[in-house]
Amino acid sequence: MWRLMRRRQETEPEVAGEAAAQAAVTVAPVAPVEPDLQAAAFFDVDNTMMRGASIYHFARGLATRGMFTTSDLFKFAVGQAVFRLRGNENPEHIAVARETALAFVAGAKVDDVVRLGEEIYDEVMADRIWGGTRALAQSHLAAGQRVWLITATPIELARVIAQRLGLTGALGTVAETSNGVYTGRLVGDLLHGPAKAEAVRALARREGLDLTRCTAYSDSANDLPMLSLVGHAVAINPDSELREHARKHEWPIKDFRTGRKATLTALPIAAGLGAVAGGVAAGIALRRHYRRHT
């Protein structure tokens, strides 16, 4: 039984990566520039492109709509802060939280999530985009390169963020759906850690990218598999482990945090589990919403 579980854990990142690559929709650049089809840039979202966790901000938007209480949201925020301080992100904890989140979101309509994501991005997330990181993404677009977001956040929300930023597309966690409704199961696993590297590999095969000419950006040491895969890695607002690794390997380091902002961003972000915690909150809200309207 243990060997079977271990084999499944080893294959899930690859399945998640392949699913994310297949779900990545390419959008033609708005500006007519000479395309560089072999080079691309990959940007992590939480604390790299955006201050805090995108799924947490999504949950905040649901709270303002009365879909669950602010005390519920506070509990999830405290949980994320405790998790980040302990630094004990292990597969067992992530798996339990993931299954809980999926159980709550089961039965939600994909179209509703997309619509709410668009509204909440405009209301809550737009002002939390790091200007410096966005400028980096735009510089790649100006050079004719494609730019993808890559995140553990659900693909539907990741696409909304990419579209609002005028980027090529997004790779995110893919949840199984049936007739436009979430089944409560994932395709593979969360797009986190090694799964991100698998997604980049899969997309590179599909799009004919030369990974040695590609660039990846992240704030977290959890993304070292992806950062080490490309020819150019950049640490953005890095955690201590990534900062040390970047210095050792002479990777560029850019920190757009200043003073109070640097302190505040530590609260609502915790890689895989933090995203799942926000997902649980969002799932609770959606379930309550459907109960009230059925």
Determine the Cα–Cα distance for residues 110 and 165; give it in Å rounded to an integer.
21
* Lookup: tokens for 37: 């089809």
Determine the Cα–Cα distance for residues 27 and 178; give it in Å rounded to an integer.
25
With CA atoms as reference, report the closest residue to 128 among 188, 53, 213: 53
Side-chain-side CA neighbours of residue 18 (13 Å)? 6
SS (H, E, C) the chain: CHHHHHHHHHHHHHHHHHHHHHHCCCCCCCCCCCCCCCCEEEECCECCCECCCHHHHHHHHHHHCCCCCHHHHHHHHHHHHHHHHHCCCCHHHHHHHHHHHHHHHCCCEHHHHHHHHHHHHHHHHHHHECHHHHHHHHHHHHCCCEEEEEEEEEHHHHHHHHHHHCCCEEEEECEEEECCEEEEEECCCCCCCHHHHHHHHHHHHHHCCCHHHCEEEECCHHHHHHHCCCCEEEEECCCHHHHHHHHHCCCCEECCCCHHHHHHCCCCCCHHHHHHHHHHHHHHHHHHHHHHCC
Residue of 46, 72, 189, 219 marked active site? 46
Residue of 36, 44, 210, 219 marked active site? 44
Determine the Cα–Cα distance for residues 193 and 187; give it in Å rounded to an integer.
16
Which phi and psi (to 5°) does residue 223 adopt? -95, 15
Q: Is residue 239 among the annotated active site residues?
A: no
Q: Is residue 46 among the annotated active site residues?
A: yes
Mind telling me the catalytic residues? Answer: 44, 46
